[in-house]
Amino acid sequence: MLEHHGRFEYSNITKRPVYDWPNGKRLAVYVAMNIEVFRYGKGKGAAIAPPDQATSHNVYSFRDYGNRVGFWRLMDMFKELGIPLEHQLNTAIYDHHPDIMERIREHGDEILGHGYTNSDEQGHLPEEEERKLIQMCTDRITKEEGKAPLGWMSPWLSNSEHTLDLLQEAGYHYVMDWTSDDQPIWAKTRNGKILLMPYPIENNDNRALVWFRYTAKEFADMIIDGFDEMLRQSKDQPLVYPISLHPFAVGRSYRIPELRRAFEHILKHKDQIWLTRPGDICRHIESLPKGTVPGDHY
């Protein structure tokens, strides 16, 4: 037999119960912004340079641009377009870039736990150290925002065999680290269940622009083509269409016009979709009758 994670069972998306999002919509669309802080000269780099240059001043500067410039340009665009956002947040932001948090609060956005810094993964940590990291980040967000985050994304999506258990035990309702479905599904933990929120690996500017080296136009076309096809498919089943952005990548001036084109296209269909945030998707899933969502018996 093949090795298996044991977190959820196989489920064919065409044979599941059909349900609606609010107001009878079938396609939920959300935008995830990765708000990250990096160590200088230490930790993980970015795929713009050979591995031996991953901790150089050049790579650090490339990513630092996101918080100094890219974030602000993107937030101006999303305010102009009236698009709600969710931000997965390294809590080092509170100490190093507090004005970013002021802008996020002004926009009324959802905040997720996302570790302390994106220079460090969490999947290699011993269980007790990982528990402390999750609790430290949760406590900081709760203190600063007045409420605990509903969702978590691990830095670099890194998981240990205990990550889902620890997140559920820390009070998290959903996690973005598993990317195997277009609908939210429940995963089994040792003390209950946690929701796996659809999250894009390819519909993601860091992968598309930095790793795969698509042009800004190709990335925008990918967003549009994916949206159009998901909207067509959602006539038969509820779906989630997530878009992931990193200010240090897509926040460059020459890339923003194409990104704006993609979102203007989506907004032309605003009356057909639920333009939302993942926390609201999670709350809706939790309100559905038993037997509707795969894994809700866990």
Give the mean pLDDT of the chain.
92
Residues forming beta bridges with residue 195, ordered by sequence position: 174, 186
What percentage of the chain has pLDDT greater than the value 70? 94
The single-letter code of the amino acid at 255 is R
Query: 170: which residues sit within 8 A by CB, 6+ positions away?
Result: 131, 134, 135, 138
Q: Does the structure show a pLDDT above 60 at 49?
A: no
Confidence of residue 46 (pLDDT cuts 50, 70, 90): low
d(CA 158, CA 50): 22
Region 214-221: mean pLDDT is 94
Give the tens place of pLDDT for each residue, 147-198: 999 999 999 889 999 999 999 999 999 999 999 999 999 999 999 999 999 9
d(CA 270, CA 272): 5
CATH numeric code, 20-287: 3.20.20.370
Domain boundaries, the chain: 20-287
Under a CB-based contact definition with an 8 Å cutoff, are residues 162 and 129 in contact? no
Q: Does the structure show a pLDDT above 80 at 55?
A: no
d(CA 221, CA 262): 7
Query: 11: which residues sit within 8 A by CB, 6+ positions away?
Result: 185, 294, 295
Confidence of residue 48 (pLDDT cuts 50, 70, 90): low
Under a CB-based contact definition with an 8 Å cutoff, are residues 46 and 59 in contact? yes
Q: What is the DSSP string of the chain?
A: ------SS----GGGSPP---GGG--EEEEEEEEE----SSSS---TTS-GGGTTSHHHHHHHHHIIIIIHHHHHHHHHHHT---EEEE-TTHHHH-HHHHHHHHHHT-EEEE--S-TTS-STTS-HHHHHHHHHHHHHHHHHHHSS--SEE--GGG---TTHHHHHHHTT--EES-----SS-EEEEETTEEEEE----SSSBHIIIIIIS---HHHHHHHHHHHHHHHHHHTTTS-EEEEEEE-HHHHTSTTTHHHHHHHHHHHHTTGGGSEEE-HHHHHHHHHHSPTTSSTTTT-
